[in-house]
Structure 1
Amino acid sequence: MNDNFEDRDEVLNSVRRFERMVASNETVFFDLADFENIIDHYTTNTQYEKALQACEAAIAQYPFSTELLIDRSQVLAMKGEYTAAAQQIEDVAHLDPTNPDVAVTRGIIATQRGEFEKAVAFFLDAAAHSPDRDDIYFNLGLAYQSWQKYKSAAKYYKMSLRLNAENEVAVNELLYCLEVSGRLEQNIDFFKRFTDDDPYSAPAWYNLGQAYYRLEKYDDAVAAFEYAILIDAKFYDAHAFLASTYVSQEKYEEAIKEFHLSYDEKHPTAEAFCNIGECYEKLGDWNQSRRNYQRAIDIDATLDEAWFGIGVILNAQERWFEAIHFFRKAVTLYEESLEYWLALAAAEYQVGNVVSSLECYERAAQVAPDNKDVWLNWSIILYEQGNYDGAIDLMRNAVEVQPNEAELYYRLCAYLLAAGRYREAYYYLENALTLDFSKHRLLFEYFPELESQRALTRLIEQYRK
């Protein structure tokens, strides 16, 4: 495994050299293998623009390399430029018709296009000619997974891992497919077999740990990650996963120690400090929490979780004006987070920015229209402002979006009663009682004075089973 880290460092050094070359606009000579590693690094991290840039630079230095032309075709496919990708691979096919990578690339293009049946046929053809290539089985797994045929996907990911147990992406995809199809528990032996075959393989223990982690068997996961670390003390991902397992067990002090071991001292990561910040937050140590979130931001100013984390701490200290600044920053960086919009809406309301708060709830409803709390929290502000009609219209909208959510009907009924619109109120109350009778207590929680209304009590009694 230590070789692995040396290899990884070498690749990162090549990537840095390449990026310096691009920045200075000079031509620097690279080995063909270095270029392959650079392209692979970018595609693994879904940085397709940079991967294509590396392909062009490589082809300029090695114009007759079929491998590079194939790489270029695959990167174009991943970028969604299917016509250019297909044209490129057909050119290669003319030059080298027996190259199995021609079929692989055609398969990748078909997968990206959503033509899964075609893709599978191409990959099976490639596998027939090169049965010992793990990447072909991995691509078969991806094609079936994209096709939502998780059982078949798992079968080919397993075949891929039997040939190369250290493909982390294949492990993650396999775990996902087994989890989605509810077959992870019965497949735990697949992961155990690797540790039985090679008890000194750190990746094998790490992969077993991940399987246990997903099954929420945290004690088993801890033991597996500890074995991986025992074999390779610098297995940073194993430290990170061990830390996450401790977080799931609410052992935050232990988690903090492991997160500190989850990065190379020369290259600290923003994620590690953000996670440490969250652990201190759970321990109620606001100063340490904020300090670590800030360190995460210093390393990567685009890490929305760290900005949000500081907002949460300030919010807990009732420092709402300050919290707003951090929540706004988080939501600017990641606009699709319901949690961020709800936190910002609540903080804006705390300081009396009613209009801003309502705007935030509106955005939250766009992000997650099927979340009942968005509608309930949004409507209560309108109601408290005396805008009964606004609150009623909003809840009418909510019950249209979520027609099976009883709580929304009870709240709508309460607002209609408050506005003196009894007939409409009783109509929605009947809906609510039919959907979930037990929640009728919510009505009196919102408005205790309603308990004295005889007509209301009589109506509710009719629905008591």
Structure 2
Amino acid sequence: DYEGALRAFDYATLIDDSFLGAFLEKAKSLEKLKRYEEAIECYNTTMELDDPTSFALLRVGKCYERLGNAEKALKFYLKTVHEDPLLDKAWIAITDFYIRRKNHQKALYYVNKAISIDNENKLYWKRYAVINKALDFHEEAEEGYRKAVEFGDYQLDTWLFWTDTLQFLGENDAAINTLLQAAEYYTEEYQIEYRLAGLYFMTGETDKAIFHLSDGMRQNFKNHSILKEQFPIIWDEPALQEAITRFKKKK
């Protein structure tokens, strides 16, 4: 109940106008209630009462961005990384600021700066991959997804984008190995099974392809069109079409 919390913090700041903690919590409540201009005022008060903190600077930047004031938002994001270069949320805020505006060259510049400070941060490497993919730098994108997983990003989309990038680069065996690794985390995931089926058809391993195709159809038949989208070159393979027809008859 942010309204209730706000009333409590209003009272606390009324009886003590130097109560730093109350102003900070009041600012958070106002931000949650989307009263961004008032939130900025409270965050600014905390910075007048004490030295500016990276948290307050970042939140002011976020509020300005939600108000549509991109110039001030960026100014506060940059102040945040100056205040605390190790705060990954600040580097992410700057990088995402430019990604949202499709200024991928600027986004790449800042994510590279972030990586130079902390080269084992999975959030930085994931964005490095996404940005390079948008710029059609596929080898760099592959490195980014690989590093993101290496440093602990096991989200499904990371595995899938990594695999799709490997496939684009013609690294089908590496893509298969990556998907088999992903399958250890996602044991019943049709998107993995269909991709494995497609890749095994590509490498001429039909028995393995049919095995994974059958698993994919069992888990989610409706989305078997993934194969056509991802692997148009093998879509008309007789063995593939026969397997789909057999499955339809069983249903």
Q: TM-score range by the shorter chain?
A: 0.7 to 0.9
- Give 2:241's match in structure 1, choosing from 454, 461, 465: 454
CA gap of 1:229–1:287, structure 2 versus 1, over 3 A, is same
Give the Cα separation in 1 of the matches to 2:221 and 2:30.
38
Contact 1:341 1:364 in 2 (8 A): yes
Q: What secondary structure sits across from 1:298 in the alignment?
A: helix
> Does the aligned pair in 1 maintain the 2:6–2:26 contact within 8 Å?
yes
CA deviation profile, 1:175-215 (whole Å, cap 9, x unmatched): xxxxxxxxxxxxxxxxxxxxxxxxxxxxxxxxxxxxxxxxx
Question: Match for 1:412: what amino acid?
Answer: L
Q: Return the alpha-carbon distance in structure 2 between the equivalents of residues 463 and 377 of structure 1.
A: 33
2:223 maps to 1:440: yes
Deviation at 1:239, TM superposition (A): 2.5
TM-aligned CA deviation for residue 311 of structure 1: 1.6
Task: Call closer, same or farther: CA 1:412–1:257 in 2, change over 3 Å.
Answer: farther
Pair 1:233 & 2:233 matched: no
Task: Give the RMSD, CA atoms, in angstroms.
Answer: 3.1
Q: Which amino acid aligns with 1:397?
A: Q
**Which residue identity lines up with residue 263 of structure 1 in the other structure?**
M
* 2-structure distance, mates of 1:284, 1:323: 19
Say yes or no: does 1:426 pair with 2:210.
Answer: yes
Question: Any unmatched runs of 5+ in structure 1?
Answer: 1-216
Distance 1:457 1:270, change over 3 A: same
CA gap 1:376/1:220 in 2 versus in 1, 3 angstroms: same
Task: State the partner residue of 1:340.
Answer: 124
**Contact 1:304–1:331 (CA<8 Å) still a contact in 2?**
no
Q: Distance in 2 between matches of 1:274 and 1:238?
A: 18
Whole-angstrom distance in 1 between the partners of 2:144 and 2:175:
16
Bigger drift between 380-389 and 405-414 goes to 405-414
Describe the superposition over 1:231-257 as per-residue Cα deviations: whole angstroms up to 9, x where unpaired.
323322233233333444444334333
Match of 1:402 among 186, 208, 213: 186
Give the secondary structure class of the aligned counterpart of 1:262. Answer: helix
Question: Could you list the per-position Cα deviations for residues 283-318 of structure 1 after superposition, in whole angstroms to 9, with x for gaps in the alignment?
Answer: 443212111112223333333322322222222222
1:311 aligned to 2:98? no
| Pick aligned residue for 2:7 from 223, 226, 249 | 223
Letter in 2 for 1:346: V
Higher relative contact order (CA 8 A, sep 6+): 2
Structure-2 residue corresponding to 1:376: 160
Q: Which 4+ stretches in 1 moved above 6 angstroms?
A: none
Match among 25, 48, 51 for residue 267 of structure 1: 51
State TM-score, norm by structure 2: 0.81
Q: Percent identity?
A: 25
- Matched-pair contact (CA < 8 Å) for 1:304–1:333: no
Question: 1:297, 1:236 → 2: CA distance?
Answer: 23
The one-letter code of the counterpart of 1:226 is D
Structure 2 vs 1, CA of residues 432 and 248 (structure 1 numbering), >3 Å: closer, same or farther? farther
Q: Structure 2 vs 1, CA of residues 375 and 255 (structure 1 numbering), >3 Å: closer, same or farther?
A: same
The CA distance in 1 between the partners of 2:88 and 2:166, in whole Å, is 30
Deviation at 1:342, TM superposition (A): 0.9
Determine if the alignment matches structure 1 residue 279 to structure 2 residue 63. yes
Deviation at 1:261, TM superposition (A): 2.4
Asked if structure 2 preserves the Cα contact closer than 8 Å seen for 1:349 and 1:357, the reply is: yes
Q: Which 5+ residue runs of structure 2 have no aligned equivalent?
A: none
In the TM superposition, residue 221 of structure 1 has moved relative to its aligned partner by 2.8
Using the alignment, how far apart are the partners of 1:220 and 1:459 within structure 2? Answer: 61
What is the TM-score normalised by the length of structure 1? 0.47
CA contact (8 A) 2:104 2:135 kept: yes
Deviation at 1:459, TM superposition (A): 4.7
Residue identity matched to 2:226: L
- Within 2, Cα distance between the matches of 1:254 and 1:462? 63
What does residue range 58-73 of structure 1 map to in structure 2 within 5 Å? Answer: none
Go from structure 1 to structure 2 and tell me whether the alpha carbon gap of 1:406 and 1:245 turns closer, same or farther (over 3 Å shift). Answer: farther
Q: In structure 2, how many angstroms separate the alpha carbons of the residues matched to 1:363 and 1:262?
A: 38
Amino acid in structure 1 at the alignment position of 2:154 = D
Question: Match for residue 130 of structure 1?
Answer: none
Letter in 2 for 1:405: E
How far off is 1:398 after superposition? 1.5
Residues in 2 aligned to 1:255 and 1:463: alpha-carbon distance in whole angstroms: 60
- Cα distance change, pair 355–220 in 1 and its aligned pair in 2 (3 A): same
Q: Give 1:377's aligned amino acid.
A: F
Secondary structure of 1:297 counterpart: helix
Please state how far the C-alpha of 1:418 moved relative to its aligned partner. 4.5
Per-residue CA distance 1:91-149 (angstroms, 9 max, x = gap): xxxxxxxxxxxxxxxxxxxxxxxxxxxxxxxxxxxxxxxxxxxxxxxxxxxxxxxxxxx
* Distance change >3 Å, CA 356–CA 229, structure 1 → 2: same
1:299 alignment partner AA:
E
Indicate the residue corresponding to 2:83 in structure 1: 299
